[in-house]
Every structure is written in structure tokens, then in C-alpha cells.
Amino acid sequence: MPRFLNDKSGFTLLETMIAMAIMMVAFASILAVESGSINASNRAKQLNVVAMLAKNQMIEAEYEIEGKTFEEVKKTDGGIFAQPYQDYRWTMEIKEIKFPSLSFGGSKTSGGEDDGGITGLMTKLLTNFLSKAVRELTVTIFWKKGPGEQSFSVSTYWVDLNHEFELQE
């Protein structure tokens, strides 16, 4: 009888099952890592598109308000992007900024109030001017994500340097 027929070497069923289990764990780990990598790549791509849309919408808003006074511009606007970005929508909001009352340590009364000196008057005038000459322009991009909605906002400040400096409180 030939020698290879009598040789009982080989793998048992238990050894084969253990090897298969090790391979399954390794393949599952590789699959999980690849799935996470694909999800991160898709998220980065989506955020890149959103940032590009926000930048473009901000530029359009700046062109629209260039050379106009605050009263000539719509305070809010919005819409849906054209193809291929129809799944995204945008809003634009222009808000007046209220500056806090600036105090440079002018003379105070015993009650802690400004006595109406030149420093107090100048800080009130400056605060009033800044509140009327500066606006915050915010562009927000919205898109559907699962059952909810995600958003991404960018803001800039619009300063009207030609705004009249009023010498009244």
C-alpha cells in the first residue's frame, strides 16, 4: 500500500472551525474599518459641497448689497439651489448689532452713573454710531440628513462707512 494513503496527517474539524472563526473576525474588522472610511469620505465630500455653496451664496449676497444702504436691502431671503444641488436650500439674514454701552472710566456720580461729561457723551455717540453702521450678514445652508435636517452657517459683518454720524444721543 502506498505511503500517502496510510498517512493520517491533516487538519481536524476543530482546527478548521477555529481557523474559519479567526478569518471571519479578521474580515469583519476589515469591513468595519472600510465602512467607516467610506462614511468619513462621504461626510467630507458633503461638507465640502456645503462650504462651497455657502461661500458662493455669501459672495452673491455681498454683490447684491454693495453700494446700497441698510434700508435698501431685504433683511431676509432664501431659496433652493439649482441642479445638481436641489437637495440644499439657503437662507440669508441681516441683523442689526446692538453694541454694549462703552465706558472708558469717565467721571461717575456717587450713585455709579456717568455724570454726562465729555467722555460719557463720546462713548454714547460712538456706541450709537456703531450700532447704526454695522450689520451682521449670516448665510445658512440646510440639507436633509436621515429623518432630520442639518445646517451650516457663515457670517460676515457689513459696515456702512458712509452712515451719518449723528451728534444726538
User: Residue 73 and residue 61: Cα distance in Å, rounded?
Assistant: 10
How do residues 24-53 score in pLDDT, each as one tens digit? 999 999 999 999 999 999 999 999 999 999
Can you give the pTM of this predicted structure?
0.66
Residue 127 in grid coordinates: 456706541
Contact 97, 134 (CB under 8 A): yes
How do residues 91-120 score in pLDDT, each as one tens digit? 999 998 887 776 655 555 555 555 567 777
Element (H, E) at 108: none
**Domain boundaries of the chain, sorted by first residue:** 12-159
